[in-house]
Structure 1
Amino acid sequence: MSEYTVVALGDSITYGFPFTPQESWVEILRKETGWTVINAGVSGDTLGDMAARLPEDVLACHPDVVILLGGTNDVYQGISMARMEQNFLRILEALDKQQIKVWLGLPLPVDDYAERQLSVWREWLRAFGQLKKLMVIDFYQDFLTEGGAVRSNLFLDGVHPTREGYQVMGQRILKNIAPSIG
């Protein structure tokens, strides 16, 4: 797996907002593995937005793997679970046609306003990943204490990670992929 091309498809949390992409979890993955890792995170993107830009931002890069992390903006914009699933499956279908491996990222915890629906989405993703035997990267769990409280020191605003939060995300993905890169 030394010559690997990976595209990280997501929203502001993939991009590295409010910092630069060079401070994101995506950059940590690139530096630590030596892979070609492309940050296709766009602030404000929903799963529908990601599906729309898939041809240019993902398929044109001919990746071996796509890491998909999304759903937070959908929840904040009031998009239904049915529509979220539909857009998610559109993305996966397009990637499957190109025989691109998918790794699913579980969204971070957010404030109470959106967490109820986001937790449903997270569990749907977890079950889908298990059913389809996809790697599931549990970014969510690392942002909670052992007692289940949100580690607020890892957030700037209740949604976006601090620099330390992005480091935690980077370490999580490295732990997940370690068996693959031996």
Structure 2
Amino acid sequence: MRNVICLGDSLTYGFPFGPKASWVELAAKTTGLALVNRGINGETTGDMLSRFVKDVVQKNPSVVVILGGTNDAWSGVPVSETRQNMDAMTEYALTANIRPVIALPPPIYRQLSGRGLEIVVHRLENYRETFRNLVREQKLVMIDFYTPLMDADTGWGKEEYFYDDAHPSLAGYRKMGETATTFFKKQLHHQ
């Protein structure tokens, strides 16, 4: 296996702690895989698509993990547009013989302020559903960063896993790293 490029936004980058605390770095340490962090804070799936050829295809990895959608939700990007961006990135990867892995974005943590968080949560759930459909339709594989950080009792992110309403705490990034490690170890056995 060549390297794995992890394409995403601040949730891949490791905001606010930096790449050393990211799930990418943690999974690289525990799996020994060459995982490359290409997370850029604030990016939407449209931003990721615009740099996909340069940051992924031209680097010729074996695998690309695509984690996006959270900034789309905050920005009000329609589900159809986010899905088109994911479809296009998936198509670029498959055409270049790169295995695309779709990541489900983590939940939102409800802090004291409302700030229309319900709307963001609803959008994100719609994105997750369309990402699941994409995985089914294209027979792809998926990393679920949603379920491990979710509090089933409240329907929101678990408090200990969040730094603010959208970004994981150090414990949250560790949980994401464990989730990615489990995924990669399982996938490597199937190759």
If the TM-score is normalised by the length of the shorter chain, which range does it land in?
over 0.9
Aligned residues: 180
Identity of aligned residues (%): 36
Q: CA deviation at 1:38?
A: 0.8
Aligned to 1:147: 153
Aligned to 1:156: 163
Instruction: Kindly indicate whether the alpha-carbon contact (under 8 Å) linking 2:9 and 2:40 is maintained by their aligned counterparts in 1.
Output: yes
Instruction: Kindly indicate whether the alpha-carbon contact (under 8 Å) linking 1:66 and 1:101 is maintained by their aligned counterparts in 2.
Output: yes
Instruction: Kindly indicate whether the alpha-carbon contact (under 8 Å) linking 1:15 and 1:40 is maintained by their aligned counterparts in 2.
Output: yes
**Aligned pairs (5 A) from 1:93-112:** 93-110=91-108, 111-112=117-118
- 1:127 equivalent in alignment to 2:133: yes
Residue aligned with 2:83, SS: helix
Distance 2:65 2:154 in 1: 26
Aligned to 2:114: none
Q: CA deviation at 1:175?
A: 1.4
Distance 1:89 1:132 in 2: 10
| Structure 1, 172-181 or 116-125: larger mean CA deviation | 172-181
Distance 2:29 2:127 in 1: 30
| Structure 1, 35-44 or 128-137: larger mean CA deviation | 128-137
CA offsets 1:69-88 (integer angstroms, 9 cap, x no match) = 00110111111111111111
Unaligned runs of 5+ in 2: 109-116
**Aligned pairs (5 A) from 1:1-182:** 3-110=1-108, 111-147=117-153, 149=155, 150-182=157-189
Distance 1:90 1:131 in 2: 14
Instruction: Kindly indicate whether the alpha-carbon contact (under 8 Å) linking 2:87 and 2:134 is maintained by their aligned counterparts in 1.
Output: no
Distance 2:82 2:151 in 1: 28
Instruction: Kindly indicate whether the alpha-carbon contact (under 8 Å) linking 1:152 and 1:158 is maintained by their aligned counterparts in 2.
Output: no
Distance 1:164 1:54 in 2: 30
Unaligned runs of 5+ in 1: none
Q: CA deviation at 1:136?
A: 1.0
Amino acid at match of 1:17: F
